[in-house]
Structure 1
Amino acid sequence: GTRWISARPAFLLPVRVLGALFRRLFLTRLRALHDAGRLAFFGSLTPLAERRAFLRHLSPVRKKRWVVYAKPPFAGPEAVLAYLSRYTHRVAISNSRLLRFDEAGVTFRYKDYRKAGATRQQIMTLAAGEFIRRFLLHALPRGFHRIRHYGLLASARRKDHLERARRLLHVAPAPPGDPPDEPEVQPTCPCCGGTMIIIEVFERRYQPRAPPPSLLSSGASAP
């Protein structure tokens, strides 16, 4: 079906052009991959390996309108940048979430966001092949980069460059605002997966001391 966006009429034409352009490029390159034998089909999709069947399968898609879906973020662009900055340089799964690897497969922790509290931390075991397949879904193809900066944002001096550009353009600096509130990260127990509460933190060079013994435990007679 057609997907619409909430926008002013002046933005409808660029969105339609962008949708048609993306549809043409996507389908053309998908067909090129099929002709080069770089697409594999399994199960009920095996007949699509034949070229005519594959083209018939894509025929309805050519008649659909591909419309860019976009809407303003609820908390503003600052919240979007804060959210994306936590994921741009991370791998699909960290080593701390991997629990074990044995004949049953790979066991790891994950978060079920449909639940709240300590029950959000769940444990899953997948076969080694399925685990690798899901992990590789997060690997970019050759020639793609996660982040690429150009122009004023290309070097480590981008802050100085942007400040100079603002001075040349006579743009007033943005007033400093409070950073977006981020939920406090609570450590989880490696055994049960529940949320741990930090009572006290000891410095590395000191050992925790036990409470002083009572008179009864020291062997003294009670009055």
Structure 2
Amino acid sequence: MPGRPGLELADIFRRHGPAWRRANAGHVSLTQLKVMSAIEACRTEVLGGHVAACGKCGHRHIAYNSCKNRHCPKCQGPAARDWMAARAEDLLPVEYFHEVFTLPAEIAQIAYWNKKAVYSLLFRASAETVATIAADPRHLGARVGMTSVLHTWGSALTHHPHVHMIVPGGGLSPDGTKWIACRPGFFLPVRGLSRLFRRLFLEGLAVLHKVGALQFFGDLKNLAQAGAFATYLAPLRKTEWVIYAKPPFGGPEAVLAYLSRYTHRVAISNHRLISADAAAVAFRWKDYRIKHGDRQKVMRLETGEFIRRFLIHVLPDGFHRIRHYGLLASAARKATIARIRRLLGEAPQDPDPQESAEVIPLTLREPCPCCGGAMRIIEIFRRGQKPPSRAPPREQAA
């Protein structure tokens, strides 16, 4: 297992967050403040924890509770593993494709102040685009399914909203009696996807503006007027919107590996952080403008600006950043996947006997670091309580 990073986002928030909050009082949302507090408290005695002991060798350690906040870099690894275990049974023995739908910078400016409305529209428009073109008999002529994951950041923590979409390479015929596979190595035409996505998104954005669902501030304040808004969007109706189609995955296992990296990613991981003090934070980033050679660079941001950039990627409360559409929509996903497997001639999957085995209460998932034996919780301490002194602390999610 990789060691603990020398510097963590939590360290930056603990050392420099209080001064930043005072300097920006009245300009930080309650949701952003909660995220900062959760990350600061994560896996410390503030949240409590437990003492675990090995039944074989007697090794003991203290494990502090995690905050489980979806923006916390330390909590997303376990969350991703649990999510992937649940999704593994949904994978089909077909090619999978990866499409990326990106909003133009001019639209990203609007999204900055209207995250819930515009991000939701990004999800809907991209899913409808793929479903519509796939259903066209000139292309696939089938009903497809997709899993979409929202990312709002670029490598430098800038605001860069885009959706990563994973799509099985085929779909059900309109009558549901057969599986229609796409051509090997090719799913749908990117140019057609780009133009339909542009039209659907701009139409949806116009509706949001008409019903008063958008807010405008600063340099964009005049866009509240219908005429100014139409003028602002006019050039975007003629430009090519970026739809990126990556090569197909090597198989279902590669899909799982990819999803495990993307579904629960946060704006910056602890391993990208290099140094931080009251003046600046240094971190690694990739310069995608460089087409050849080493893209890895080091960026230094003023500490307050670093905190601000991280917090602009905090999602609205209750907003789902992973969504399933079409054949993979939650309501009928299991029944649909079972039918597709039958059409593909794949035998039904037997339940894993290890998964169905009885789980011993209070037994940890991670084995003993000394002998590999089962670790059991022998004592629990609550929020704010001091942990017992007889066991060395170990930073681990509980």
- Give the TM-score normalised by structure 2: 0.30
Larger RCO (CA under 8 A, 6+ residues apart): 2
Report which of the two has the higher share of strand. 2
Larger Rg: 1
